[in-house]
Amino acid sequence: MMITDSSIRIPLKGAEEGEVTVVASQIRGYGVWDGGLAQGGALLAGWEGPAPSLLFLWVTDAQTNLMQRELSDIQASSATSGPPCSFLLLVLKEQLQELQVALLASILDMKEYREGHSSPSSIGLTSPLAWTDGLVLLHSCPPPVDQHLLRLLGQSTEKSSQVRRSQRNKTSTSGSSGLQQLPTRLIQYPAAPSKGRITVTKEDLACLDAGEFLNDVIIDFYLKYLLLEGVGGSVAKRSHVFSSFFYKQLSRRRAAGEDNTPSVPDRHMRHQRVKTWTRHVDIFTKDFLFVPVNQEAHWYLVVVCFPGLDEVQREDFWSRTGGAERAAGPRAFSLRSQQPPECTKQGCQRDTVLKRPCILVMDSLKLSYHENVCRLLRDYLQVEWEVRRATPRLFTPDSMRSSSCRVPQQDNSSDCGLYLLQYVESFLQNPVVQFDLPVCLDNWFSRQQVRQKREEIRSLVLRLHKSQQHDGEN
């Protein structure tokens, strides 16, 4: 099976070069299930060893009809007998590990796939679909297809009735508006008439459930909130946060229609795609640029430090932070079990500090290859400088060093987005002031802070939702 950002191509057993294609935008929902739940059914009868993972796809009627025609061209007529079915159940070769499930889910949560997720539904379920949600959907199939699929999954008539009753109870207790329609808009942030608003929906809120993978909307919303009002202070004013789409747009390959002439350097072509993103801000007047990166379905943070600085400098730490502020720092942490990192504002005991133009990488798993990211950002800075300053300046690995920081690490496969957000929040609250590389931030924050982050963000969205509703009524 081949999964790309535009489609899923599924080979057919027993057919030479036969396959069916599911278009990304035609997927209404998906679920990744533990096959052990279906071991009592015909689907895995005779399966030896640990039960494999199951991939469940719910597709549109248009995709269903197209697949039925494709099947009729490839296989015997019996393959398309009976009423059409909008569900695909794929048995994978083995049980996916937790990280693999997260990676698969992150692909199926890409923008191209989510176009189908937002289609109206009378059932009102959202992806990823739980096992019980899938059974509810199978009940909607016309007979005898519904009973056939349920038997494959080991669901007896009695079990099916229990699921139906459970779903009816769920609908009645959650209210008619909860399940009768797919995600609706919760908030726009910042509120009108501010520009650059981010819309957060109920679907986006669902990715804050335990074990879910944060999507780009939640990442962008919380980063903007942190910068505008969540932390405040001088560090926020000296910082710029890029959208999660910035690096994605900067790094993508040349598309059809883009200038392919060899005379146009690659860095200029890439800069052309994002040149309007900073038309209202001179990034070289900022001390810190925060760039969220999603690489191979894993979130991490890149911080460009002092892009306007062309050499290493030393400065008086007191003149930058103020004596009272510096003196209060260690006492503020005196009740904690660990002291803040020495290179940060609240842990620094120096009279002078070193600052340098550099690129800091903060990765909670260290699974990704970072050098290409740093190279593309240097190329971007070089062209942006030429455009802004109308003078040449080279951003090289020597003049702008890159370094992976020692930062708190995640202990599961789903919290990388939360760690990215916590890195930014901690930086704004307690920034790095001493730029000896590599930067060591092991005690920057506790793991408990990250574990509370999902509920903190959820509460924030719901609080803003209530406030915006109240303002709308007035």
Q: What is the pLDDT of residue 174?
A: 39
Residues belonging to the chain: 474
Residue at a domain's end among 132, 148, 179: 179
How many separate domains does the chain show?
A: 2
Indicate if 298 belongs to the active site: yes
Strand partners, 301: 292, 362
174 and 222 both lie in a single domain = no
156 and 110 both lie in a single domain = yes
pLDDT in tens, 207-264: 999 889 999 999 999 999 999 987 768 899 999 999 999 999 999 876 655 556 556 6
250 and 363 both lie in a single domain = yes
154 and 64 both lie in a single domain = yes
Q: Which residues of 296-318 are buried (b: 16+ CB within 10 A; e: fewer)?
A: ebbbbbbbbbbbbbeeeeeeebe
Q: What is the chain's Cα-based Rg?
A: 26
- Residue 429 in contact with residue 344, Cβ under 8 Å? no
138 and 154 both lie in a single domain = yes
Q: What is the pLDDT of residue 384?
A: 97
92 and 190 both lie in a single domain = no
In a domain, 203, yes or no: yes
In a domain, 326, yes or no: yes
Strand partners, 22: 8
Q: Which residues of 415-424 are buried (b: 16+ CB within 10 A; e: fewer)?
A: bbbbbbbbbb
Catalytic residue among 204, 363, 379, 415: 363
In a domain, 321, yes or no: yes
Residue type at position 278:
T
421 and 378 both lie in a single domain = yes
Contacting residues for 82 by C-beta, under 8 A, at least 6 apart? 144, 145
Provide the domain limits for residue 391.
Answer: 185-466
**Summary mean pLDDT of the chain:** 82
In a domain, 168, yes or no: yes
101 and 125 both lie in a single domain = yes
**Whole-number Å distance between alpha carbons of 131 and 159:** 13
Q: What is the pLDDT of residue 311?
A: 92
Q: What is the pLDDT of residue 167?
A: 45
231 and 172 both lie in a single domain = no
Ranges of residues in the chain with a pLDDT under 70 are: 14-17, 73-83, 116-125, 156-183, 232, 254-264, 318-338, 367-368, 472-474
- Alpha carbon distances (Å) from 214 to 270, 297, 320, 339: 27, 10, 36, 30
Residue at a domain's end among 161, 179, 197: 179
In a domain, 57, yes or no: yes
**Whole-number Å distance between alpha carbons of 20 and 2:** 11
Q: What is the pLDDT of residue 240?
A: 96
Indicate if 216 belongs to the active site: no
- Alpha carbon distances (Å) from 212 to 50, 121, 412: 24, 22, 11
The domain spanning residue 309 has which CATH number? 3.30.310.130
Contacting residues for 202 by C-beta, under 8 A, at least 6 apart? 126, 182, 183, 184, 186
Indicate if 416 belongs to the active site: yes
154 and 273 both lie in a single domain = no
In a domain, 198, yes or no: yes
| Residue 458 three-state SS | helix
236 and 140 both lie in a single domain = no
**Residue labelled with tokens 């969205």:** 461
In a domain, 474, yes or no: no
In a domain, 471, yes or no: no
Residue at a domain's end among 149, 179, 209: 179
For residue 11, say if its preceding peptide bond is cis, omega within 30 degrees of 0.
no
pTM of this prediction exceeds 0.95: no
Q: What is the pLDDT of residue 306?
A: 97
Catalytic residue among 85, 305, 358, 416: 416
Checking DSSP bridges between strand 358-362 and strand 401-404, what pairing results, if any?
A: parallel
Catalytic residue among 117, 139, 240, 298: 298
171 and 222 both lie in a single domain = no
**Whole-number Å distance between alpha carbons of 450 and 222:** 14
Backbone phi, psi, residue 298, to 5°: -130, 125
**Whole-number Å distance between alpha carbons of 437 and 204:** 37
**Would you tell me the crossing angle of helices 157-174 and 131-138 to the nearest 10 degrees?**
110
**Whole-number Å distance between alpha carbons of 290 and 300:** 11
* 379 CB neighbour count, 10 Å cutoff: 18
